[in-house]
Amino acid sequence: MTTTPVGIHDLSFATTHYALDHAVLAERLGVDRDKFYLGIGQEKMSVAAADEDIVTIAAAAAAPILERHGTDNIRTVLLATETGVDQSKAAALYLHSLVGLPNAARVVELKQACYGGTAGLQFAAGLIARDPAQRVLVIAADIAKYELDSPGEPTQGAAAVAMLISADPAILRLDTPSGLYSADIMDFWRPNYRTAAIVDGKTSVNAYQKAAQEAWSDYRRQGGRDLSEFAAFCYHQPFTKMAYKAHRHLLESQGHSVDAARIAAAIDDTTTYNRTVGNSYTASLYLGLASLLDHADDLTGKALAMISYGSGSVAEFFGATVQPGYREHLRTEANRAAIESRELLDYDRYRELHEAVSPTDGRYHATAEQTGRPFRLSAVSGHKRIYEAR
Ligand code: COA
C-alpha cells in the first residue's frame, strides 16, 4: 500500500516584544552568569508585554502562513498550549477575527504540557491521511512562567510556532512509526488556581531522560530506524543543555561511544533560537526544528529524529525527512528578525511584568500599550478578552 506523504508545508514562529538577558538575572540572584550561559545553556528569555498573551503570539505566528497559502481546505485548526486564556473556549477561536480563519473548520485547543504540539502534528497527519486534499493549521504557543527567585526562573521564555500540515509537504515529511511512552508522574504541573508552574527540577530532568529512552525503545520495537541513520536530533528544550543531556543519556543507554564532538554535531544547530528565546513549552521542539533548518548545511533527503516530551508525562520519538527544495520555503530572515527586534528589559521592569495580576472584577480595563508586534490584547471587559490587529 502506498501512503500519501504528509508533513510540514510551512513553518513560522513569533515571540514576545521583550526579553531579559540572563546576566541581569544572575546579578540579581548573586550567581555566576555562566551558570546560566553555560550550565543550563540559556543567554536570554522572551518576556510577554502587558498586552501580549498566547493568542497574540499565536496570531503573529499564523498570519504569515495564511498570507502565503490562503485558507482554502484548512478544515481543522489545532492550538496546543498549557498557557490557556480560558477554561472553556479554545484559544484558537480568538484567531478567527485576528487572522481570518475559515468558518468551515473545527477549531480545538490541545493540552498535555510541552507534548501538546506533537499531539497536534500527529492528529493533523491522521486527518490528512484520510483526506489528502485537506490542510491543517497546527499552532503551539506558550509563555513559560515560574516563581521569582525559584530554580525554574531562569528557564522561562515564550514563543509560538505555526505549522501548515499538508500532503506532499514542501519542508518536512513526517515518517512512521512513532515510539510512545506515557506515565502518571508529578514532575511539573500547574493547578488551575496558579499562574506559575510548580516543578521538581531534578525529578523532571531524570523523568525526561527516562521517557525519551523508553520512547526510543518503543520506536525500535515498532521497526524504526537505527540511531546512526539520523543526521540530527531535535529534542524538546526546556533549557538547551537538556537536549545535550538527553542525547548523551540515549547514546549511553544504547552502548554507543559518547564524545562531546559527536553530541555537538547532533544537537548544536537545534539550539540557536532556544538559547535566546528560553522555554516555550509546546513550541520549544518546533523552535528547535526551525533553528536546525535555518542553521544546518543542506539537509535535503536527510532523516531527522524528533523527540517530544511533556511532563506528567508523555514522550514521543519519531523520524522526519527533509524535502528537496526545502530551503526556498524557510523563513530564516523573519525568524531572526523576530528574535533580534526584542526590547531588552532591566530587572525592575521584568519583575513588574512578572508580578502583574489580571483583572477579575468584570469591569473595563484597558491594557497598557507596550508591544510593537502585529496583535495585542487591548482590554479585558465583562470578563472578555478584547484583541486588536494593528
Ligand atoms: N559555570 C558553569 N556551569 C555551572 C556554573 C558555573 N559557574 N554553576 C553551575 N553550573 C552548572 C551545574 O554544574 C549544572 O550542570 P549539570 O546539570 O550539567 O550538572 C547546571 O549549571 C545547573 O546547575 P544546578 O545547580 O543543577 O541548577 P539548579 O538547581 O538551579 O536547577 C534546573 C537547574 C534546570 C533543574 C532548574 O532551572 C529547573 O528546575 N528548571 C525548570 C524545570 C525544567 O526545565 N525541567 C526540565 C525537564 S521538562
- pLDDT per position as a tens digit, 77-136: 999 999 999 999 999 999 999 999 999 999 999 999 999 999 999 999 999 999 999 999
Q: Could you write out the DSSP letters of every residue in 58-101?
A: HHHHHHHHHHHH-STTEEEEEEE-SS-S-SSS-GGGGHHHHH--
Average pLDDT in the 8-15 region?
Answer: 98
- Average pLDDT of every residue of the chain: 97
Going from the Cα of 39 to the center of ligand 1, the distance in angstroms, rounded, reads 6
Task: Extract the runs of DSSP E, i.e. beta strands, from the chain.
Answer: 6-14, 18-21, 44-47, 74-80, 106-110, 135-144, 157-167, 172-182, 188-189, 198-199, 230-235, 303-310, 314-322, 343-344, 365-366, 375-381, 384-389
Asked if 82 is an active-site residue, the reply is yes
Give the residue extent of every domain in the chain: 6-389
Atom 6, ligand 1: which residue's CA is nearest?
Answer: 35
Asked if 256 is an active-site residue, the reply is no
Q: Which atom of ligand 1 is nearest to the CA of 202?
A: 35
**Residue of 211, 161, 160 lying closest to 184 (CA atoms):** 211
Ligand 1 pocket, Cβ-based, cut-off 6 angstroms? 32, 34-35, 38-40, 151-152, 154-155, 188, 199, 201-202, 204-205, 208, 238-239, 242, 311
**Residue of 142, 56, 67, 127 lying closest to 101 (CA atoms):** 67
Predicted pLDDT at 257: 85
Atom 32, ligand 1: which residue's CA is nearest?
Answer: 201
pLDDT category at 376 given cuts 50, 70, 90 is very high
Q: Which atom of ligand 1 is nearest to the CA of 279?
A: 44
Residue 365 predicted with pLDDT over 80? yes
Q: Which atom of ligand 1 is nearest to the CA of 114?
A: 48
Classify the C-alpha dihedral 201-46-267-120 as positive or negative.
positive
Q: Give me the catalytic one of 17, 22, 82, 234.
A: 82
Q: What angle do CA 20, 232, 43 make, to 5 degrees?
A: 15
Going from the Cα of 126 to the center of ligand 1, the distance in angstroms, rounded, reads 38
Average pLDDT in the 245-260 region?
Answer: 95
Average pLDDT in the 359-378 region?
Answer: 98
Q: Give me the catalytic one of 114, 247, 249, 316.
A: 114
Average pLDDT in the 178-199 region?
Answer: 97
pLDDT category at 2 given cuts 50, 70, 90 is low
Only one residue has cell 508523555, namely 314
Among 40, 185, 249, name the best residue to mutate to test ligand 1's pocket (greatest count of ligand atoms within 8 A of Cβ).
40
Among 35, 42, 112, 187, name the best residue to mutate to test ligand 1's pocket (greatest count of ligand atoms within 8 A of Cβ).
35
* pLDDT tens figures, 299-356: 999 999 999 999 999 999 999 999 999 999 999 999 999 999 999 999 999 999 999 9
Strands 303-310 and 314-322, bridge-based pairing:
antiparallel
Q: Give me the catalytic one of 9, 22, 236, 247.
A: 236
Going from the Cα of 145 to the center of ligand 1, the distance in angstroms, rounded, reads 17
Residue 1 predicted with pLDDT over 60? no
Residue 179 predicted with pLDDT over 90? yes
Going from the Cα of 282 to the center of ligand 1, the distance in angstroms, rounded, reads 21
Q: Which atom of ligand 1 is nearest to the CA of 238?
A: 44
Residue 72 predicted with pLDDT over 70? yes
Going from the Cα of 150 to the center of ligand 1, the distance in angstroms, rounded, reads 12
Atom 16, ligand 1: which residue's CA is nearest?
Answer: 39
Atom 28, ligand 1: which residue's CA is nearest?
Answer: 151
Asked if 22 is an active-site residue, the reply is no
Going from the Cα of 206 to the center of ligand 1, the distance in angstroms, rounded, reads 12
Region 6-389: CATH code: 3.40.47.10
